[in-house]
Amino acid sequence: MLKGKFKIGGEWLADLFKAKTPPLIGVDISSTSVKMVELVAAGKGRMRLERYAIEPLPKDAVVDGNIQNLEAVGDSLRRGWKRLGTRVRNVALALPSAQVITKKISVPPGLREEDLELQVETEANQYIPFTLEEVNLDFQPLGSATGGGDDVHVLIAASRKEKVEDRVACAEVGGLKAIVMDIDAFAAQTAFELMESQLPEGGRDQVILLVDVGATMMNINVLQNNQSVYMREQPFGGNQLTQEIQRQYNLSAEEAEAAKRNGGLPESYEPEVLQPFMDTLALEVTRALQFFFTSTPYNQVDYIFLSGGCATIENIDNVVAQRTGVNTLIANPFATMDVSPKIKARQLAQDAPTLLVACGLAMRRFDA
């Protein structure tokens, strides 16, 4: 691996794709909250959800995935960690997909590690619009290329150094130590492996659309046999519902967000505000499907999994399924996992769709 690219503050940060790591907490820093998940071994290859916490972030502390207020994010991390009630201070973090350039390349088989590193750097210079001194760079061999040749596919991932350093600094402000840096879409993909057992034949050869609807962005990742075949972002999210609540009921942003989460809105809310938003969300998923079909050889999707804050809206899976004509499920990576008796089942069922990335990051401690 390109070790020299990951040294931060005198410490080696684990590579994006590094193997087994010590006990850690998966930490997802989104636009509106910090989500923390700790998993432990439960014997016979099983995992147990030991604890989790969701800590709100101050408004505009994170904007479009960029850390705008290091201290505020660090304080939220500290409060979340205290609420979590763990002794583990090592954390796995993720960069937003939009801040990472990924590229699959093909290389001859059997290259020595130093030759592979040189090949990766040569290829990276072609695809990355920054000098290598400005980026953190990592790569992972994926196996033989398709098409009958002997070449090997290698995935390159690169991000501007300051994007990585900002998240590491937030962890330090919160009294935590970042030892893994991943990509949010990859972390969600890792967590999805826990849900494949819900599908016929474990999802083998099926095309799965993962849709994460956050506060400002809808992230699309299409998987087939645990490989991503398509990714896309669309500017749509739960903030649009909050803004409509503000407008309709003359509330402040904070009041609208609280009412959205806790209820207490007039009876007209559901038919006049919520249902139109759900219809628009379903339309956005349909648009994502059309983009996927027109830009790839694929012409069908077998299942849609919804995650993120908007996936907690009651009946949203049925609205999306009706609009798209595709079987739609709410993502719950803990559905088949052992769960600590300290965790309230009803609350977890509500929160689970928002914890996909944090769960995938927490799973890094079990990497072989």
Same domain, 250 and 204: yes
Same domain, 306 and 227: yes
Categorize the per-residue pLDDT at 145 as very low, low, confident or very high, splitting at 50, 70 and 90: low
Same domain, 236 and 306: yes
CATH code (residue 72)? 3.30.420.40
pLDDT of residue 146: 55
Same domain, 40 and 178: yes
Torsion angles phi and psi, residue 146, rounded to 5: -85, 165
Distance CA 137, CA 120 (A): 9
Q: When comparing pLDDT for 90 and 15, which is higher?
A: 90
At residue 42, the 3 state secondary structure works out as strand
Categorize the per-residue pLDDT at 8 as very low, low, confident or very high, splitting at 50, 70 and 90: very low
Structural domain containing residue 56: 3-100+159-188+354-366
Within-domain flag for 106: no
Beta bridge pairs of residue 278: none
Distance CA 14, CA 27 (A): 15
Within-domain flag for 237: yes
Distance CA 184, CA 122 (A): 26
What average pLDDT does range 92-107 have in this prediction? Answer: 87
pLDDT of residue 2: 39
Within-domain flag for 122: no
Least reliable range by pLDDT among 129-143, 174-188, 281-295, 334-348? 129-143
pLDDT of residue 139: 80
What average pLDDT does range 92-102 have in this prediction? Answer: 89
Same domain, 176 and 222: no
Same domain, 286 and 244: yes
Same domain, 183 and 246: no
Same domain, 89 and 25: yes
What average pLDDT does range 108-131 have in this prediction? Answer: 82
pLDDT at 229 > cutoff 50: yes
pLDDT at 12 > cutoff 80: no
C-alpha dihedral sign at 346, 347, 348, 353: positive
Same domain, 268 and 182: no
Distance CA 334, CA 353 (A): 10
- The closest of 238, 253, 233 to 312, measured between CA atoms, is 238
Share of the chain above pLDDT 70, in %: 92
| Cβ atoms of residues 274 and 241 within 8 Å | yes
Within-domain flag for 222: yes
Within-domain flag for 314: yes
Q: When comparing pLDDT for 328 and 11, which is higher?
A: 328
Same domain, 317 and 359: no
pLDDT of residue 20: 55
Same domain, 29 and 167: yes
- Number of structural domains (the chain) is 2
Distance CA 151, CA 198 (A): 35
How much is the mean pLDDT over the chain? 88
Q: Tell me the pLDDT tens digit for each residue of 304-314.
A: 999 999 999 99
